[in-house]
């Protein structure tokens, strides 16, 4: 999103350089900025950049954007701002960008082989972007909006630009027609996928985790779309949806086989999940990993599988037909399960295909292929609502862009004003709330006043986004603790967890886990055990695998590490009783394994 793009190269990131001091004399008048840049002006900017470099036009274009914004000509301001953003991006030295990007990856917690192993060149980010590509980018307002709205701090920009360059050079006309698809490919294929993608229950030998050359899926998908074989018209989907099409784990020959063999219509896509015979014998033998041999769609169909294989098969079948799909894994009362989601024919996300209601499953985890991180609950809801296509969000996005730029320039007052306008236009603009809090902090707003804004933000996301409500309410608790109100903070934390109980037990358990983690860090052991018992009594009755994972397992291992295995076994046995674990279930087996380890 614009927020994190700005953090990456417009100066908020630690150590980022100031804007270049040199500037070309562009002769942009205030009257001119009342409207978007004309073709003549765009050409003049390109000529100046060709002569003196893109860095020479950064300041004049920023000034023009600020003038348009000050005149409340927000459509014009947006266009000038994107032109300024392209100039800043193209003129960023790789030696400054790559360390900042590497730091962002480190902060994200992503750690796997091949990620972050890049050496910067001595050039600029735009050095290898051809003049033809640069011209196309800066002169296409719709693509600029899509590009800067989707790019984030974990995207490796040199590879993103190189992929766009390669696809454009291959076929400029097709690139223009399928530009959103090109952007989706560029955003997903910029770094290698993690070894646990699409799920960890298959070996690297059976399923090599390797994305193809970007040109291969592009040519195949565009050809399938032209032939009418895709269930969605790919030119009508945005990059934020298409990234869930191009994240194909199955090789193209398997996808081609799927198109020829699997005959499920879009409104019956869940049938693809049910096509895979369920292997109860593997469950009985506790064989949760694919038993061997190539993990192909053909093999899964012929041999059958368990829920992860059913979900994988269905997601790949959908992608082969141009359908955005998501692979979900979640925990229920008695065990774990995998299902899938997809964008249906009405443009709505159906997120429960293959999900068993009787298991009382909580919201599952799915990966965002752009970042290879889990997609949050609220982001899934945002996807379903598609509110980012609304005019109100466009207005909000423009206000946010300038709030970030004001903040970068050190003007907290103007940043707060623009951020406030952003949330007034669209209350669901999460980035705008975060920038508003940061701008208020820069101005020295009191902790109590900031807590009022945090509570306002929590109310803005009620009742549809409980994870965001939890996020902002916990910010309030942290602020209270920071100003010495520890008892009140703890009271509020427990109240939050209690309100979530029965409605979102997974979030209630997560909140309880935070309370326990703080006790483990700060309290003596006797108090830690008391905290664990209180959480068990409050949230454990009838709870399931999520509670075991986040509370019981961690606490038992903590006591074991303190050489208190007897107390750890007692804590586990108490939890088994309170959770009312039924014999023969997956969770019963996990309790047994944990107790065995604690007897060693």
Confidence at residue 600, expressed as pLDDT on a 0 to 100 scale: 67
Query: b/e per residue, 255-276, with b = 16+ CB within 10 A?
Result: bebbbeebebebeebbebbebb
Confidence at residue 379, expressed as pLDDT on a 0 to 100 scale: 84
Top-level class of domain 259-382: alpha beta
Q: Is the dihedral of CA 574, 579, 582, 587 positive or negative?
A: negative
Confidence at residue 8, expressed as pLDDT on a 0 to 100 scale: 41
Confidence at residue 502, expressed as pLDDT on a 0 to 100 scale: 66
Which secondary-structure segment (H or E) carries 266? none
- Would you say how long the chain is, in residues? 600
Residues 6+ apart with CB under 8 A from 493: 474, 477, 511, 514, 515
Confidence at residue 19, expressed as pLDDT on a 0 to 100 scale: 47
Residues 6+ apart with CB under 8 A from 551: 509, 512, 513, 516, 532, 535, 536, 539, 540, 575
> What is the Cα gyration radius of the chain?
26
Residue 550 DSSP one-character state: I
Cβ(272)–Cβ(326) under 8 Å?
no
Residues 6+ apart with CB under 8 A from 487: none
- CA distances (Å), origin 577, targets 11, 45, 362, 540, 558: 55, 72, 22, 9, 20
Cβ(367)–Cβ(373) under 8 Å?
yes
Cβ(89)–Cβ(354) under 8 Å?
no
Per-domain residue ranges for the chain? 2-133, 259-382, 501-600
pLDDT beneath 70, residues of the chain: 1-24, 331-335, 356-363, 502-503, 600
């Amino acid at each position: 999103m614009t927020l994190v793009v700005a953090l990456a190269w417009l100066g908020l990131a630690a150590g980022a350089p100031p804007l270049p001091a040199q500037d070309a004399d562009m002769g942009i008048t205030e009257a001119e900025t009342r409207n978007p840049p004309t073709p003549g002006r765009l050409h003049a900017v390109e000529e100046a950049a060709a002569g003196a470099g893109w860095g020479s036009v950064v300041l004049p274009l920023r000034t023009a954007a600020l003038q348009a914004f000050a005149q409340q000509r927000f459509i014009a301001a947006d266009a000038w701002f994107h032109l300024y953003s392209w100039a800043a991006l193209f003129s960023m030295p790789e030696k400054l960008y790559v360390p900042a990007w590497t730091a962002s990856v480190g902060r994200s917690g992503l750690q796997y082989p091949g990620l972050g192993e890049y050496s910067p060149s001595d050039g600029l980010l735009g050095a290898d972007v051809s003049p033809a590509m640069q011209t196309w980018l800066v002169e296409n307002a719709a693509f600029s909006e899509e590009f800067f709205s989707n790019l984030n701090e974990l995207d490796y920009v040199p590879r993103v630009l190189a992929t766009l360059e390669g696809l454009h050079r291959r076929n400029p006309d097709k690139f223009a027609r399928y530009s959103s698809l090109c952007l989706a490919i560029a955003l997903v294929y910029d770094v290698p996928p993690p070894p646990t993608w699409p799920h960890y229950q298959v070996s690297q030998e059976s399923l090599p985790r390797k994305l193809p050359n970007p040109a291969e899926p592009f040519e195949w998908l565009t050809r399938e779309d032209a032939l009418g074989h895709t269930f969605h018209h790919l030119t009508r989907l945005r990059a934020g949806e298409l990234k869930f099409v191009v994240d194909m784990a199955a090789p193209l020959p398997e996808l081609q086989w799927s198109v020829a063999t699997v005959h499920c219509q879009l409104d019956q896509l869940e049938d693809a999940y049910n096509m895979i015979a369920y292997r109860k014998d593997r469950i009985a033998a506790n064989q949760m990993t694919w038993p061997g041999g190539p993990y192909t769609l053909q093999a899964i169909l012929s041999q059958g599988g368990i829920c992860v294989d059913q979900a994988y098969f269905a997601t790949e079948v959908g992608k082969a037909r141009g359908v955005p799909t998501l692979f979900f894994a979640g925990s229920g009362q008695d065990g774990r399960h995998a299902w899938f989601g997809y964008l249906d024919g009405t443009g709505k996300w159906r997120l429960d295909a293959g999900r068993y209601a009787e298991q009382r499953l909580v919201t599952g985890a799915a990966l965002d292929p752009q970042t290879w991180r889990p997609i949050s609950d609220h982001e899934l809801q945002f996807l379903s609502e598609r509110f980012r296509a609304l005019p109100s969000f466009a207005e909000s996005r423009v206000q946010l862009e300038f709030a970030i730029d004001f903040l970068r320039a050190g003007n907290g007052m103007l940043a707060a004003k623009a951020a406030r306008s952003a949330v007034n236009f669209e209350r669901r603009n999460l980035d705008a709330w975060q920038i508003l809090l940061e701008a208020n902090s820069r101005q020295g707003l009191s902790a109590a006043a900031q807590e009022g804004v945090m509570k306002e933000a929590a109310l803005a996301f009620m009742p549809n986004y409980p994870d965001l409500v939890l996020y902002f309410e916990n910010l309030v608790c942290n602020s209270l603790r920071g100003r010495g109100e520890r008892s009140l903070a703890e009271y509020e934390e427990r109240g939050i967890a209690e309100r979530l109980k029965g409605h979102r037990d997974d979030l209630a358990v997560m909140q309880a886990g935070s309370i326990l983690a703080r006790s483990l860090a700060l309290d003596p052991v006797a108090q830690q055990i008391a905290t664990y018992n209180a959480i068990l009594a409050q949230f454990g009755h009838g709870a399931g695998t999520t509670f075991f994972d986040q509370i019981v397992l961690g606490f038992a291992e903590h006591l074991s590490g303190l050489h208190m295995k007897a107390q750890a076994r007692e804590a586990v046995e108490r939890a088994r009783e309170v959770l009312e674990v039924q014999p023969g279930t997956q969770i019963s087996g996990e309790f047994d394994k944990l107790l065995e380890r604690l007897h060693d």
